[in-house]
Structures are given as structure tokens and as C-alpha cells.
Structure 1
Amino acid sequence: MPHELRLPAFLLGFALGGFFDGILFHQILQWHHLLSLWAPEEGMPFHVVWDGLFHAAHYAVAVFGLGLLWQHREGIAAPRAGRGLVAWAWIGFGAWHILDVVLNHWVLGMHRARIGVANPLAYDMIFVALGVVGLMLGWLLLRRPGSGARGAPVATGLAILLFATAPVAALPPRDPDPAIASLLGGRLLPAFCASWARVDYAAR
């Protein structure tokens, strides 16, 4: 895979990490907003504005990544380009979650993964687990032998995924559905993290 494709794939995965956080944790579960701890007295309109700026920054990252991918599109036909694009996108996705936890949660104190709980660190570790998942999947894909999928369909799929998730991330939050919040927050995320722990152990 050409070196020039690593950065655009990383940036696309990084942007997807931000969209994933915005859609799941800001809108559906509403566990936190960007400035939940910096401005706890402010109402939802204030947090919607700042969440919007958060998403706008990730739109800029996504557009820049797509521009770089288009600029180096000749390399998409190279051997292992498809697998490399997926691997570096996963690495970008994982890096976003690690950076968010370390910088925004622990250093700057802008928010935690879930506000108003007795042990916020336990929920922060969900983000750490998501970051480890992304980094490990990317690393395993890069080490895997074989040519993998062709680059053009993978690049197209990444672009479609971004175009599909970006408008959803722009939607304002609504009152969370208790059933959905219970399913995602109370069952699927812990099960996901536990499953990945078993996969990681088996891969060693």
C-alpha cells in the first residue's frame, strides 16, 4: 500500500470516530455533551451549539481526508491498498477515542463518558476499549498476509459511510428512548467490550 494513502485513511477513520461519538453518546444515549462539565448550568440550546461546532470540526477533517484520498487516487490500485485503507481507518477510529479520553476527559475535563454517575472512570474505560479495538483491528489487518480487497471498492465504501453518517451527526438530540438507551448502554456496550477482551486474548 502506498504511504500516501495512510494519512487520508487515518483521517477518515478519525472523523468517523467523532461521528460515532456524536450520534451514539451525544444524541441517542445523551450520556454527555462536549462542554457538560465546563458549563453544567447551561441548557440544551447551549450544548447543541457546541456539539454542532464539534461536528463541524469533524466535517472539516473528513473533507480534508477525502481530498487527500482523491489527490492520491492512483495509489488505490496498488496491491494491498484495500486492506491498508481499512486498517488505517480503524487506527484513526481507535486513535480518536484514546485522544478524546486522555485530552477531553482527563486533561481538559470538558466532559466524561457519562455524566452524573458514581464511577465515571468505569464509563471512560468504554471509550478506552473502543480505542483499543480500533487500534488492534488496524494492527492485525496490517500484519495479515495476502492482498485483501481491491482498493477502489474500499475507498468508495469509506466515502459512502462518511456521507451517510455526517447528516445523522448533524441532527439535534431528542429525548432518549428508554428502551433503546437500556439496550445500548446497559447490554450491548458491556457485551461488546467483554467480547473484544476474549478476542484480544485469543489473538495473542
Structure 2
Amino acid sequence: MESRQATHNRVRYSSRNVGSGFLFGVGMVAFIDETVFHQLLRWHHFYDKSTTAIGIISDGFFHAFSWFATIGGLFLFADLRRRNALYLKRWLGGLFLGSGIFQLYDGIIQHKVMRIHQIRYHVDILLYDLIWNILAIGLIFVGVFLLYQTRPNRMGGK
């Protein structure tokens, strides 16, 4: 049974748990995207509307962004642990939500609206788009479900 103070801290820092997980989730998915699709598979760059050199530079900025988000989320995570306010299930809800929202933003806004890059080129893109965006929606649903289960009024807060 957790202490009364720990319960109080989890309620008090409920939104910080979500924010930390969200930031880490954005950084994690951006890092995976950058590492797998940009570097290992070399399917695209962050910005494909210019030269390869510009694409590689844009990947560098994207990679830096992913690390800043990841490290920022981990600093907040460490602060929650220090305050005895970490609610891991709620934090994971934020992680899934951040991961899914970033991936859906990438798949809809960057791929289709802004057209700054596609997942792949010179193939039928429909299957790739469907998998990318359905996976993003699944991550969002998991995040929302976890956040609903751990909302403050269920933890004894107001």
C-alpha cells in the first residue's frame, strides 16, 4: 500500500507525469524515425525538397530535436522520481499519446499536407501510409486509455 504522501504527490504532479511521458514519447518516436527510416534504410530525409546535402543537414536538426525532447522528458521523469510523484502508468499514457500524436502529425501534416518528405519513394505508398497512420492512431488510443484509467479523480484527488 502506498503512503498517503505518495498518493498526494501523484495527484499533485499528475499533469507533469503526462507531460514528461509525452515529451519522451515524441522524442523516442522521432529518434526511431530518424535512425531507422532516415539513416539505416535511407528511405527519406526530414526535408526532401532540395539537395541530398540539405536533406542530411535537416536530418541533423531533426535528430537534435529528438534528443532534446528525449532528454527533457527524462529530466522531468527524474524530477518526478525525486519528488516521489512518479505514476508510471500515467507516465506511460503520456508516452503513448506523445508517440502517437507525433507519428500522426508526421504522417498527415509532413507527408501529405506539407509534402516535405514521404515514407518511401518509387513504390506504391498507400500501404506504407496506412500502416504508419493506423499505428499512430493505435498509439493514441492506448495513451488515451491509460490516461483515462489514471485520471486524478480516480487516484483520490479532486
State the TM bucket, normalised to the shorter chain: 0.7 to 0.9
Change (3 A) 1:6 1:144: closer
Structure 2 CA distance, aligned partners of 1:10 and 1:63? Answer: 12
Partner of 2:69: 61
Counterpart position of 2:21: 9
**What do the CA deviations read for 1:131-175 (whole angstroms, capped 9, x no partner)?**
112112223333558xxxxxxxxxxxxxxxxxxxxxxxxxxxxxx
| Counterpart mapping for 1:1-204 below 5 A | 1=10, 2-36=14-48, 38-39=49-50, 42-43=51-52, 45-73=53-81, 74-77=83-86, 81-117=87-123, 119-144=124-149
Given that 2:47 and 2:54 are in contact with CA atoms closer than 8 Å, whether structure 1 keeps it comes out as no
Asked whether the equivalents of residues 5 and 75 of structure 1 are also in contact (C-alpha less than 8 Å), the reply is no
Letter in 1 for 2:98: G
- Give the TM-score, by structure 1 length: 0.60
Partner Cα distance (1:24, 1:76) in 2: 34
- The number of aligned residues is 137
Give distance in 2, aligned partners of 1:126 and 1:52: 26
How far, CA to CA, are the matches of 1:6 and 1:75 in structure 2? 15
Give the TM-score, by structure 2 length. 0.75
Aligned partners of 1:120, 1:107: CA distance in 2, in Å? 15
Conserved? CA contact 1:10–1:90, under 8 Å:
yes
Q: Alignment RMSD, CA only?
A: 2.1
- Residue ranges of structure 1 left out of the alignment (5+ in a row): 146-204
Partner AA of 1:129 in structure 2: I
Structure 1 residues 37-79: Cα deviation after superposition (integer angstroms, max 9, x where no partner): x12xx23x443222111111111222322233334431535xx
Output the CA distance in 2 between the equivalents of 1:32 and 1:129.
20
- Partners of 2:25 and 2:121 lie apart in 1 by 26
Question: What percent identity do the matched residue pairs reach?
Answer: 27
C-alpha separation in 2, matches of 1:88 and 1:131 = 14
